[in-house]
Amino acid sequence: MHLGNYLGAVKNWVRLQHEFDTIVSIVDYHAITIAYEPEQLRQRRHDLAVTLLAAGIDPDVAALCVQSQVPEHTELAWILNTITPLGELERQTQFKEKSRQQESVAAGILNYPVLQAADILLYRADKVPVGEDQVQHLELSRVVARKWNALFGTPTGRRLEDGSEEREQFFPEPQPVLTPTPRVMGLDGKSKMSKSMGNTIGLLESPESIWAKLRPAVTDPKRIKKTDPGTPEVCNIYHLHKAFSTPATVEHVAVQCRTAGWGCIDCKKVLAESMETELVPIRRRAAELAAAPRRVDDALAAGAARCRALAHETMLAVRDRMGF
């Protein structure tokens, strides 16, 4: 997990878990739509659980589960596949991008959003915290929920304005929770922080390694000499300050930058200190969990049990309404 994932998503989930009944899922069935090594998959799943727990997902509050430990995900995905229009899937931006990059495209890439819809609808979730780029996938979940409800929802006996019979809305149409989150740019200052661009800082990286990346990171390109006044708004380091530093420090950074009161290295040193304040406890918790894998397994087992109970209930109703 890199800082872009943490600031853009996980930090938000940590807050939302106290406001909603929350399920956080490690989607290992999604992960196998690209080439992978089985042993690495096991390790990455465990490492991701460690990182989510260290970042603040509380297994006594949210259900943290591994998708493959709740088999109903794939059962519902198959059912939803049978009512999802092919055109809707072919229109998905991620499918178009991935199929352009590869000679041969697995059907799993095309059906990826259907499994996402199953992940959401299986728990009859009302809300899904998503980034702007995921809204299209969520819209597909809404389309599929609407379609399934119209086909298989139990008739209520009431007539709608158009004369058709109203049916129960068994699956709620999930709404996006678009919380303002910083768009975290990579250290190149040009593109979004992402592993494929090689411009990331890992959430659990050591302070030395973080500094080795921060030190040469791109800043305001017009600030060539220390005596040149800068424009903080165009600088990625300033945006990272807004994510990690106190409001007073952010203000101080802006003033120092605009008045050429300090150099970019001074500014980055302050950022590194602010980052440490937030990252030290996360690193410490991750080290404790890595030394006690049993605690991680227990958290995942408890999460899977909670999710399986909900999934079982949904699928009993789905199978019944569909004639199985």
The single residue of 98, 127, 213, 269 carrying the catalytic annotation is: 98
Q: Which is nearer to ligand SF4, 222 or 319 (CB)?
A: 222
Q: Least CB distance from residue 296 to ligand SF4, whole Å?
A: 38
Q: Which of 7, 23, 201, 235 binds ligand SF4 (CB under 6 A)?
A: 235
| 164 Cβ contact partners less than 8 Å away, ≥ 6 residues apart | none
Residue pair 61/18 in contact by the 8 Å Cβ criterion: yes
Q: Is 108 helix (H, G, I), strand (E, B) or coil?
A: helix
Q: Least CB distance from residue 264 to ligand SF4, whole Å?
A: 3
Q: Which is nearer to ligand SF4, 264 or 300 (CB)?
A: 264
The single residue of 96, 190, 195, 222 carrying the catalytic annotation is: 195
Q: What is the DSSP string of 192-236?
A: B--GGGT---BTT--HHHHHHHHTT----TT--STTS---GGG-H
Which residue is it, tokens 């059912």? 79
Query: Is 192 an annotated catalytic residue?
Result: yes
| Rounded-to-integer distance, Cα 250 and Cα 258, Å | 12
Q: Least CB distance from residue 302 to ligand SF4, whole Å?
A: 44
Nearest-CA neighbor of 289 among 47, 62, 59, 69?
47
Beta strands in the chain (DSSP E): 23-26, 63-66, 127-129, 155-159, 165-167, 175-177
Query: Is 11 an annotated catalytic residue?
Result: no
Q: Which of 114, 118, 140, 253 binds ligand SF4 (CB under 6 A)?
A: 253
Q: Which of 184, 257, 289, 300 binds ligand SF4 (CB under 6 A)?
A: 257
Q: Least CB distance from residue 6 to ligand SF4, whole Å?
A: 21
Q: Tell me if 6 contacts ligand SF4 by CB under 6 A.
A: no
Site string for ligand SF4, 182-221 (x = CB under 6 A): -------------------------------------xx-
First to last CA, the chain: 41
| Rounded-to-integer distance, Cα 214 and Cα 136, Å | 34
Q: What share of the chain is helix, strand, coil (3-state, %, to 5)?
A: 60, 10, 35
Q: Which of these segments, 70-78, 129-137, 187-195, 232-240, binds ligand SF4 (CB under 6 A)?
A: 232-240
For the beta carbon of residue 305, count every other beta carbon within 10 angstroms: 13
Q: Which of 65, 117, 250, 267 binds ligand SF4 (CB under 6 A)?
A: 267
Q: Which of 223, 286, 296, 304 binds ligand SF4 (CB under 6 A)?
A: 223
| Rounded-to-integer distance, Cα 15 and Cα 20, Å | 9
Q: Which is nearer to ligand SF4, 129 or 230 (CB)?
A: 230
Number of residues engaging ligand SF4 in binding (CB under 6 A): 13
Residue pair 231/258 in contact by the 8 Å Cβ criterion: yes
Q: Tell me if 230 contacts ligand SF4 by CB under 6 A.
A: yes
For CA atoms 295, 291, 62, 320, give the dihedral sign.
Answer: negative
Q: Which of these segments, 21-29, 137-145, 205-213, 235-243, binds ligand SF4 (CB under 6 A)?
A: 235-243
The single residue of 127, 192, 242, 269 carrying the catalytic annotation is: 192
Q: Which of these segments, 62-70, 149-157, 231-239, 243-251, binds ligand SF4 (CB under 6 A)?
A: 231-239
Query: Is 98 an annotated catalytic residue?
Result: yes
Q: Which pair of tokens denotes residue 218?
A: 């791109």
Q: Which pair of tokens denotes residue 301?
A: 């087992």
Q: Which residues bind ligand SF4 (CB under 6 A)?
A: 219-220, 223, 230, 232, 235, 237-238, 253, 257, 264, 267-268
Which residues are part of the catalytic machinery? 98, 192, 195
